[in-house]
Amino acid sequence: MLDQRDRTLLDLLQQDASLPITDLAEHTALSVSACWRRVKRMEEEGLISRRVALVDRRKANVPTTVFVGVRTARHSMDWLESFRSAIADIPEIVEAYRMTGEIDYLLRLIVPDVQAYDAVYKQLISRLDFTDISSFIAMEELKFTTAIPTRYA
């Protein structure tokens, strides 16, 4: 069970994982060693799964976000594993979800432009059969965060 100091630490680290332990300790009114132990415990328990650098998509020349809804007539474990394998080595696919409702899978792609998306589309259809693939190009990013709410932890 997390207390308010743990939640504060998580909030701070989600905003900037490079914050020195001394700054984290100061913001949580903990000693440096107590703060370090809390962060270490959350890492060991898997609550903090990793620390990463967030790259500016525009500066990395991948400003276009495409959401792709995938439908398939096959709902076997073999097909699912083939699909998982097909998308695993396509770096433009940054998120993938198995869904309920009208679509079976939802993908989020980050690409430089529509031509790059088309190349990914062709990779996918060359590997597997689909009933339908529907693409939705994001016009404007209204909100983006990697931070999860900590009030439920």
Task: Write out pLDDT tens, residues 7-21.
Answer: 999 999 999 999 999
Instruction: Answer yes or no: is pLDDT of 1 > 90.
Output: no
Are 76 and 13 in the same domain? Answer: no
DSSP line for 60-81: TT--EEEEEEEE-S--SHHHHH
Are 73 and 126 in the same domain? Answer: yes
Task: Write out pLDDT tens, residues 104-119.
Answer: 999 999 999 999 999 9
Give the integer Cα–Cα distance in Å for 109 and 106: 10
- 132 domain-assigned: yes
Are 85 and 129 in the same domain? Answer: yes
Domain count across the chain: 2
pLDDT (mean) for 46-60:
95
pLDDT (mean) for 32-48:
97
Instruction: Answer yes or no: is pLDDT of 60 > 90.
Output: yes
Are 10 and 39 in the same domain? Answer: yes
Are 75 and 126 in the same domain? Answer: yes
Which CATH number goes with the domain that contains 29? 1.10.10.10
Give the integer Cα–Cα distance in Å for 143 and 140: 9
Are 80 and 40 in the same domain? Answer: no
- 77 domain-assigned: yes
Query: What predicted TM-score, i.e. pTM, was given to this entire model?
Result: 0.89
Instruction: Answer yes or no: is pLDDT of 71 > 90.
Output: yes
Are 74 and 130 in the same domain? Answer: yes
Are 71 and 16 in the same domain? Answer: no
Which CATH number goes with the domain that contains 102? 3.30.70.920
Are 33 and 81 in the same domain? Answer: no
Q: What band does 44 get if pLDDT is binned at 50, 70 and 90? A: very high
Q: Decide: residue 85, CB within 10 A, 0-12 exposed, 13-18 middle, 19+ buried.
A: exposed
N- to C-terminal Cα separation, the chain: 7
Are 111 and 69 in the same domain? Answer: yes
Helix, strand, coil percent values for the chain (each to nearest 5): 40, 20, 45
- 153 domain-assigned: no
Per-residue confidence (pLDDT) for residue 94, from 0 to 100: 98
Are 39 and 72 in the same domain? Answer: no
Residue 13: which domain range? 4-44
Per-residue confidence (pLDDT) for residue 153, from 0 to 100: 85
Per-residue confidence (pLDDT) for residue 137, from 0 to 100: 98
pLDDT (mean) for 72-87:
94
Tokens of 56: 């500016």
Tell me what the pLDDT averaged over the chain comes to. 96
